[in-house]
Chains A and B, each alone.
Chain A
Amino acid sequence: MLPFNQNKTTMKALNKILFLFCLLFVVSSCDDALEEEPQNKLKPQTAQDYNELLNFGYPTTRDYGTQVPLDYYVEMMTDDMDIRYFNQDRLEYPIHPYSFETTHEHSSMLNGYDQAWKNFYQAIYYANVVVDNIENASGDVGLKNYVKGEAMVLRAFSYFKLINLYGKPYDANTASTDPGVPLKLDPTVQAESYTRNSVQEIYDQILKDLTEGILLMETNDQRVNSKYKFTPISANLLASRIALYMENYEETIRYATEVINRNSQLFDLSGNTWEFAQTRWGYGQGTHYLNENNNNVLFLYGSNEFYSYVFYPGSLALSDDFTSIFEPGDLRYYYFSYVKGPQGRVPFKFRPFPNRTGEPIRGMRVEEAYLNRAEAYALTGKLGLALDDINYVRSYKFSSSFQDDDDYFEYSTEEYSTQEEVVAAVREERRRELFAEFHRWYDLRRYGMPEIVHEYNNETFILPQGDPRYILQIPQIELDYNPLMELNPR
């Protein structure tokens, strides 16, 4: 079946006789005669225009089947991943980050280079356009303030992603001298070089945007229910994550509690039996974890570009180091992974339906609020509260009928008596709950950048503790066209 193509065109030349002396002698008055008549273009003027511009700014796939490549490669460098059976004719790329080459970039990656840089800076550009101009737009003041606040949160989010890809993990003692990323807050576009601001300057801006943005959104709430836009509640979750990364535990607890007070719904697996999980779950079963209809999902962005690296035979699988931390009765193990031939057990969080490639599968879920708060509690010595939070999460993830003992999965302060033990338990829970959702790499960075060992084909690749490769190299295309850009050390 071929499409037919039909073109119906009418050309009309309108004859207009103008007062020609105007043409000949008074040029400026003729400008009216040349007034533009756009069909599909406009100059943004209303609050709604800016709202729609901001919608475009999200680093999220727009069309069916297209991808917005972000930080998919970080997952390939974590200790959660393993390569057993590798088919480089199919997908050459994973071996490069997996073997910790000096740069994560390789011509075999999506579109040939790292596009997270570009996509997050594009989000920042749109946010800058909105923040800079919306006050002069026409329309409802409440909407204007809300959209401005949302733009600030998107800007904070984008800088937060960038600084954690290309800058050192936040350390209050050195942040003011550690090179971060260029800070650009105005929407001018120019053929100039940009230099890197310090990690501290970037975080200062992130905090400023977050506080102001959340305040604007909350005081002018528009009751937006799209999960593809930041809302006051997802902005609070973002703030709790950022506070945790900055080791500001009081704020982590405060923001996470804000989230939990408004939404404490978790994705519930507990009704399933262990036998059912072992035998019946596999490819294509169940609701996928970041489905926009799930009540625990607060924000969705990005695309499904990571999926191909587990979908095509001969690529990433879960490491033994990771799978060994699941306990009996933990349904997440079977719900979110399955055995894929010689490749091994592969992560399967996104459960993409055939033909759903490109679906936004990155996001933020309520579970993270509990885990953020638990970690902050643990690190501030509130061990009981920390264990309460992870026990709450675990109650939704373990089979309720696995053992007669109803609370068999719960941790107690009797078993975990020291702070180190509780912190370790909370972090292990975080690893199990959030795996393959682009958290692990960033978590390892803030845990002190521990050594990672990868093996493939009898070769061992080691990323030593604190290695500079924990800070990704600036994309080559940026180095090419921005001569003042400082490289990260290697």
Chain B
Amino acid sequence: MGRMALEYDFLDTKTHSFQLYAGGEYRVNNYRGDNSIGWGYLHDRGRIIAPHENIGEELAGTPYLVIRDFTNKSASYFGVATYSLMDKYILNFNVRYDGSNLFGSNPKYRWEPAWSVSTRWNLIDENFMEGSIFNNLALRGSYGLQGSTNTQSTPQIVASFLNPTYWSELNLLQISSPANPDLRWEKTFSTNIGLDFALFRNRIQGAVDVYSRKSEDLITNTRISEVNGFSYLPINFADVTNKGVEFGLTTRNLYDSSGDGFNWSTTVNFAYNKNEVTKVNLDPVVARMLSGFPYKPDAALVGRPLNALYSVDFSHVDENGTARFNLANGELTEGTRDLQFEIEDLVYNGPIEAPYQGGISNLLEYSNFKLSALFTYGFGNFFRRGEILESWMYSPDQNLSKELVNAWREPGDENFTNIPHIRNETGGNNHKSYWNKSDIRVVKGDYLRLSNISLQYHLPGTALDLFRLSRGFVQLQGNNLLLFADDKLDGYDPETFPYQSLPLPTSYMLTLNVTF
């Protein structure tokens, strides 16, 4: 590793200051690793190796030794220029380039650039602010670009060595990534304007930020026509904007300057983000649009969020127990088989990720006690519940959702239930799979959660002296204690559900912390 930095103060007077800081770094990592697998190793029989006679047949082609031997090289260089006028007006320029020796990478794209310009105006230092209620007031602004590229793609064919084939013993070279000369950088342009403030002798402190991030040429590994000989290819598929507001406020509601009295402070955070696709180079695929889980680039539509939930428009269950759906032309689907939906037949339910998010925390202090509580919230997003119907084969040992108790069984049931019949059906009977993807399965993701409460008791000075401690406290803490969310989520956690992971567990902790 080599590193170098230069710092130079061109100017340093009371009114002007100009600093330049620049540097570079070069890093080489050699990696050598052997991984050996010993089949038939008997650890408790004297660590002997006793491979079974059939081992050749069973494990044909399985390697017993894997050698990894490679070198990673990376280099980066950066520069920071700062100019400040009377410490009130500050202008900052930042640039950074990173490069590495990824195999097959296009020399043109070997270096990833990032630069930004930022400026700050410390209003509080202006003469007209003297004697105001403010203790701090500053206006910030920045604009910058970040570029990144896909490490798997190369402008020319790259082949990998494979084992000779088992049957023919021919040597093989596989094309691990096809030539992809058209792939461009992912670029993100960020604009940010912010205001920091503090007033009433710092009883109220806060910051507001408004931002706009425009990402161009986002890269995704997309499914492509198999006519290509490959099923997936990284492409620049879309432009996306993120616009939003972030707001943070801390108030000291009660403040006892003596230090021992009652203190109460509150922190409120709020964030709003609007994600919108502004350009797409990929045709949306109905099947992918109906998938309920996030990050599905081939379902992006201009004017909608990148991670959006779409559904088929459920109408009713008919007298045969068949699910019927509304189509864009005003008609209903007929029958159980070979239903097909076009993009315009789908309804847009909303974003999968909550656009409104935040938290509220309160801290109460009295004497040796400290009590804090944190609520978090998010709202404005939608999910679809798990798929409970299958067209074929309910076998006796299969676990089924208890919702199916209410499924349609005989004519007349359609007046009470929205769940189609659960009889076995073959092949192209897909009305039930579309029912799984219909809007009656959609629930709101709004929630309010009591994420954390903790109560601390700090040992008083006498106790500390007695045990010769410099510091000590006892803490009782509870996490994820309460959750208010849509009943229809049925026990699923709105924060983890779309990622198919388990609900956040409730936990309690008692801590004794001492410092000698």
Q: List chain A positions with a Cβ less than 8 A from chain B.
A: 1-18, 20, 23-24, 27, 30-31, 33-44, 49, 52-53, 55-56, 60-65, 89, 96, 101-103, 106, 117-118, 121-126, 128-129, 133, 181-182, 184, 187-194, 226-229, 292, 300, 355, 358-360, 475, 477-478, 480-483, 485
Give chain A residues whose Cβ lies under 8 Å from the Cβ of B405: none
Give Cα distance in the complex from A295 to B166, angstroms.
Answer: 21
Please determine whether B175 and A53 come into contact, CB atoms closer than 8 angstroms: yes
Please determine whether B173 and A56 come into contact, CB atoms closer than 8 angstroms: yes
Give Cα distance in the complex from A86 to B30, angstroms.
Answer: 59
A20 is contacted by which of B24, B103, B226, B427 (Cβ under 8 Å)? B24
Instruction: Enumerate B20-71 residues with CB–CB distance to A below 8 Å.
Output: 22-43, 50-52, 57-58, 60-61, 68-71
In chain A, what residue has the closest Cβ to B38? A4
B157 is contacted by which of A24, A44, A192, A482 (Cβ under 8 Å)? A44
Please determine whether A43 and B159 come into contact, CB atoms closer than 8 angstroms: yes
Give Cα distance in the complex from A143 to B27, angstroms.
Answer: 43
In the assembled complex, 23 residue pairs joining A and B whose CB atoms fall closer than 8 Å, in A order, are A3-B37, A5-B36, A11-B31, A13-B30, A14-B28, A15-B1, A16-B26, A34-B74, A34-B75, A34-B99, A36-B103, A42-B159, A43-B104, A52-B171, A52-B172, A62-B165, A182-B225, A193-B283, A229-B170, A300-B167, A478-B227, A481-B223, A483-B283
Give chain A residues whose Cβ lies under 8 Å from the Cβ of B50: 1
Please determine whether A20 and B166 come into contact, CB atoms closer than 8 angstroms: no
Give Cα distance in the complex from A335 to B283, angstroms.
Answer: 54
- Give the 10 A-B residue pairs with the shortest CB-CB distance, closest first: A125-B229, A228-B168, A23-B24, A189-B178, A482-B225, A52-B173, A9-B33, A64-B166, A20-B4, A64-B60
Give Cα distance in the complex from A431 to B73, angstroms.
Answer: 63
Give Cα distance in the complex from A24 to B73, angstroms.
Answer: 17
A34 is contacted by which of B38, B101, B228, B426 (Cβ under 8 Å)? B101
In chain A, what residue has the closest Cβ to B3? A20
Please determine whether B35 and A6 come into contact, CB atoms closer than 8 angstroms: yes
Please determine whether B227 and A35 come into contact, CB atoms closer than 8 angstroms: no
Q: How far is the CB of B493 from chain A (nearest CB, A)?
A: 31
Stretch at the interface among B230-238, B268-276, B472-480: B230-238
Give chain B residues whose Cβ lies under 8 Å from the Cβ of A480: 223, 285, 287
Please determine whether B159 and A5 come into contact, CB atoms closer than 8 angstroms: no
B22 is contacted by which of A24, A53, A478 (Cβ under 8 Å)? A24
Please determine whether B230 and A63 come into contact, CB atoms closer than 8 angstroms: no
Q: How far is the CB of A330 from chain B (nearest CB, A)?
A: 30
Contact (A184, B31) CB under 8 Å given A1-B42, A60-B165: no
Give chain B residues whose Cβ lies under 8 Å from the Cβ of A33: 26, 73, 75
A6 is contacted by which of B36, B101, B110, B172 (Cβ under 8 Å)? B36
Give Cα distance in the complex from A292 to B298, angstroms.
Answer: 45
Please determine whether B285 and A481 come into contact, CB atoms closer than 8 angstroms: yes
Give chain B residues whose Cβ lies under 8 Å from the Cβ of A103: 428
Is B156 located at the chain interface by the 8 A CB criterion?
Answer: yes
Please determine whether B24 and A481 come into contact, CB atoms closer than 8 angstroms: no
Please determine whether A189 and B159 come into contact, CB atoms closer than 8 angstroms: no
Instruction: Enumerate B208-234 residues with CB–CB distance to A below 8 Å.
Output: 222-231, 233
Please determine whether A62 and B172 come into contact, CB atoms closer than 8 angstroms: yes
Contact (A20, B2) CB under 8 Å given A7-B33, A49-B159, A478-B227: yes
Please determine whether A41 and B168 come into contact, CB atoms closer than 8 angstroms: no
Q: How far is the CB of A187 from chain B (nearest CB, A)?
A: 7
Give chain B residues whose Cβ lies under 8 Å from the Cβ of A12: 29-30, 32
Give Cα distance in the complex from A117 to B231, angstroms.
Answer: 11
Q: How far is the CB of A116 from chain B (nearest CB, A)?
A: 10
Please determine whether A359 and B167 come into contact, CB atoms closer than 8 angstroms: yes
Please determine whether B172 and A56 come into contact, CB atoms closer than 8 angstroms: yes
Give chain B residues whose Cβ lies under 8 Å from the Cβ of A106: 427
Give Cα distance in the complex from A27 to B36, angstroms.
Answer: 41
Give Cα distance in the complex from A37 to B73, angstroms.
Answer: 9
Give Cα distance in the complex from A43 to B61, angstroms.
Answer: 25
Give chain B residues whose Cβ lies under 8 Å from the Cβ of A44: 157, 159, 173
Give chain B residues whose Cβ lies under 8 Å from the Cβ of A31: 99, 107, 110
Is B509 located at the chain interface by the 8 A CB criterion?
Answer: no
Chain A proximity mask over B119-137: 1 for CB below 8 Å, otherwise 0: 0000000000000000000
Give chain A residues whose Cβ lies under 8 Å from the Cβ of B283: 193, 483
Give Cα distance in the complex from A6 to B37, angstroms.
Answer: 7
Please determine whether A129 and B157 come into contact, CB atoms closer than 8 angstroms: yes
Contact (A30, B75) CB under 8 Å given A8-B33, A39-B69: yes
Is B180 located at the chain interface by the 8 A CB criterion?
Answer: yes
Please determine whether A182 and B227 come into contact, CB atoms closer than 8 angstroms: yes
